[in-house]
Amino acid sequence: MEPQRLIHRLFLSLWVLFLPFWDFGAGAALVLAFAAAVLPDLQNAGRKFRESASFWPLWGLFGLVLLGTLWHGAALDSLLRMLPLLLLFWAFDRETIVRTLPLGASLLMLYLLGGGLYRVWQGADWSVFVYRGLLEGLHQHVYIGTYLLLAAVAVQISAFSARITALFWAITLLFLGLLGAKMLLISALVAAIWWLYRSKSLPRWALPAAIFLVLGFVTAQGLSEGRALGHVFKPLDPYWATGSVDTRAVQAKAALQASAEKPWLGWGPSEKQAALEQVYAEWNYRFGLKRHLNVHNQFLEWTLAYGLVGMALLVVVCTAAARNMPKRPWGLLILYFGSLWVTESFIERSLGVALFGLAWAWMASWVPPSEK
């Protein structure tokens, strides 16, 4: 293998391994992977650019933030957070990603398990193995869960035996159950139903592995405090809202009210949270003020930050891309992330941006069996 190719794969592998643990290290590794892929052959990088229609939606998101910066002033942190969407077209290598993700997920699950055991040994109760107690010091469950799901898909399409594939899925689903991320599980179920409808087949390991998901979820419900299913539906009253559904409804309504004050260009990435919390204060939404909660809806989050003009520009870019992109099972990504974004402001964190960009680049580089 050529030295520059080896260096590129090394940095790209480090990016994948660092993602759940270290935002800055992951970002630096991706920049180095991009440089290793582009600098040795700038001419070829330019030719490749002409085949970039599949990546226009990613670049449209970066452009949205860039325009928002021009409209509302400097927001360097927002641009840096979106940088993977700009670099992945050149830096991405499907084979490297597929090989590295299972290793990264295995290390992540061992880390979570080891950390939980250590805290129990120090005297903590068993609730450290569920929900956010399991993630102490790491990102939220929707991000970690998405990373684990991508790794399980990588195992599924790799040359692993059926027994190893089934075992990896079972362990992954057990961890997803323990994390108790209800919205993520719903999004994964929606995407899985769509995939099963298209493939017309159910893997033999699917039902046994699902038992581990149920086992983990039931355990999480039993050990979590204030996060059981009974805490999901509460009265839609800002003063009392603390559950999963009522808080999101209150936050969405607050975002719409704040957006109505600056509907065209929005508040900007730096001021949107302050505008949102001003409405929280008017409504005496105690939980939102205490936790500084964002909208928990990516579409409303963008509207609040960039207004109707920004959203219209994004729609134009995505529409132009859709007419030029190759045929892929895009519905899998659209359903998973689209449904997840209704309940989570997923792109407001570096790991969320990286995971969405990784999944999109992976799908864009997918080769249908008929073309192999």
Output the DSSP codes for 126-139. Answer: GGGGSGGGGGTTS-
Indicate the burial class of 46 (C-beta count within 10 angstroms; 0-12, 13-18, 19 or more).
Answer: exposed
How confident is the model at residue 180, as a pLDDT? 86
| 234 within some domain | no
* pLDDT of 94 over the 50 cut: yes
How confident is the model at residue 307, as a pLDDT? 96
How confident is the model at residue 223, as a pLDDT? 77
Question: What is the C-alpha separation between 48 and 66, in angstroms, rounded?
Answer: 23
- The total of structural domains in the chain comes to 1
Question: What is the C-alpha separation between 195 and 189, in angstroms, rounded?
Answer: 10
Domain extent at residue 221: 96-227
| Predicted structure pTM score | 0.94
| 280 within some domain | no
Question: What is the C-alpha separation between 295 and 256, in angstroms, rounded?
Answer: 10
- Widest distance between CA atoms in the chain: 62
Cβ neighbours for 139, distance < 8 A, ≥ 6 positions apart: 20, 349, 351
| 10 within some domain | no
| 232 within some domain | no
How confident is the model at residue 101, as a pLDDT? 98
Tokens representing 176 are 């997803």
Q: Which residue has the tokens 């099963």?
A: 196
| Residue of 55, 47, 32 lying closest to 356 (CA atoms) | 55
| 352 within some domain | no
| 112 within some domain | yes
Cβ neighbours for 255, distance < 8 A, ≥ 6 positions apart: 276, 295, 297, 300, 301, 303, 304
pLDDT tens column, 254-309 = 999 999 999 999 999 989 999 999 999 999 999 999 999 999 999 999 999 999 99
Confidence class for position 372, pLDDT limits 50, 70, 90: very low
* pLDDT of 239 over the 80 cut: no
| 148 within some domain | yes
Strand ranges in the chain using DSSP code E only, listed in sequence order: none
